[in-house]
Chain A
Amino acid sequence: MRTLPVGDRALLVEVTSGEEAQALHAELLRRRAAGLITVREIVPAARTVLLDGLDDPVRLASELTASEVPALPRREEAAVDIPVRYDGPDLADVAAHWGVGEREVARIHAATEFSVAFCGFAPGFGYLTGQPPRYDVPRRDTPRTAVPAGSVALAGPYTGVYPRSSPGGWQLIGRTDTVLWDHARVPAALLSPGTRVRFVPVGCP
């Protein structure tokens, strides 16, 4: 674990894997809930957790490096099911990367239990992990200027669902009618860091 000051009121804690980052994030949430840390934002990402709005980042840094981070506890809540039509325009490209048929992409993807490693890019956009590294795919060479809301997409080790129409360079494998973000709903975001997710195939590609 490495801690990096970010200005005078924030701390970036860097670890070596996504799993460690998720475990660290869960531990920091636990400490905040227990009143052990006062912080405005706890923002997990690929290999880091950012703590923003701290009174004394230097002291927290020394506390963190002196303590053990327990392994990620398994979440008790049920996984969120997201129904997907696996008919995205990049399904064939992804199938070629994986060296399987298009139907097999759907079967493999839907058989994976994902969890939200972190959120970013847009409100409610989760970076979901859970697939083995052999299923990593590159971003598209040319990003699309408009990816429709509900598109289920892959890039690198991640799966994501576009909460609203936006430009994007991920490979689109399917789409869902599930609403990822609704600011009038509580909570507004269907997915938050740590949420477990399963994709449920509907219809036939």
Chain B
Amino acid sequence: MTDRALVVVRAGALTTVQDRGRPGHAHLGVPRSGALDGSAAALVNRLVGNPPEAALLETTVNGCAVRPRSTVTVAVGGAPCPVTVDGRPVAWGAPVRVPAGALLDIGTVSSGVRSYVGVSGGIAVDPVLGSRSTDLLSGLGPAPLAAGTVLPLGTPQRLHARVDVAPQPAPPTELVLRVTLGPRDDWFTPEALRTFTSRTYRVSLASNRIGLRTEGPALERSLPGELPSEGMVLGAVQVPPDGRPVVFLADHPTTGGYPVIAVVRPQDLPAAAQAAPGTPVRFTAMRTRQGC
């Protein structure tokens, strides 16, 4: 049991190590990062008996394949996909024992975007500023997986009760994002605000861990120019000059100069992480901004 590690056989389109990220450093220009679908990440950690802060793998669309050097328990959640061990189908969304040297293959998603692979003991790469997450905006944390990458694993803890099955929400066929308007909704025309909260957008292929980009009607500004740079939050809906809203996800920049028309409720962001390109998106205003 001394050689606890995963060897990457197939990296997939983009597979990264993620945990709950590194909040608290935004004033130094450090993005929060962390698993995009935090609910799915927390769940697969529970399924393998890990604490919620354990690092795991986040795949993108076509999964990955890894070979553990010692026997481990794994669980795959988030976007549904076929899972095999040495070619034999095993359960998705449940703990699975993978013997030392066996090939664990996480296949292409049947819906959604990102699958999460929890491994007993967690991925134990060296943390950077308290987190093992890969931050694709600023390059902090481990590089995205490549074939041949060896990922050390931590020692499984027996303190955490394991669950055997758990319900997981299906990836959205229509993404409804509840928003609170502001802080810069006054930079847009009343017509643009109506458009934003009534028309349907679609998830753009250009979406990534930094932001969910959309295609749809452009939002017209009532004020020209750029804002002086200001701090940005997770879920901020920034409107660049092309007028198409961008929802900031975990690797978002800490400051920005385009106006933020609204902020998405944090509870809705896991679904945003699983909305495939082309998925319809609607923004619904929860309440008008209250001045204070």
Contacts and interface: CB of A to CB of B under 8 A. Distances in A.
Contact of A46 (B129, B229, B263): B229
Contacts, number: 115
B29 A119 contact: yes
B68 interface: no
Contacts of B183: 4-6, 12
A46 B230 contact: yes
Nearest to B30: A123
B28 A58 contact: no
B29 A4 contact: no
A192 B27 contact: yes
Interface in B8-31: 23-30
B260 interface: yes
B200 interface: no
Interface string A163-200: 01000000000000000000100001100110000000
B195 interface: no
B290 A5 contact: yes
The 8 closest A-B pairs by CB, nearest first: A50-B231, A46-B228, A7-B263, A43-B231, A120-B255, A4-B183, A119-B29, A61-B292
Interface residues of A, number: 41
B292 A3 contact: yes
B182 A5 contact: yes
Interface residues of B, number: 36
Interface of A: 3-10, 12, 40-50, 52-53, 58, 61-62, 65, 118-125, 127, 164, 183, 188-189, 192-193
B231 A122 contact: no
A120 B30 CA distance: 8
B218 interface: no
B230 A12 contact: yes
A189 B28 contact: yes
A12 B231 contact: yes
Given A43-B26, A53-B23, A120 B253 contact: yes
A41 B182 contact: no
A138 B168 CA distance: 51
Nearest to A188: B129
A58 B166 CA distance: 37
A127 B115 CA distance: 38
Nearest to A4: B183
Nearest to B32: A41
A188 B229 CA distance: 23
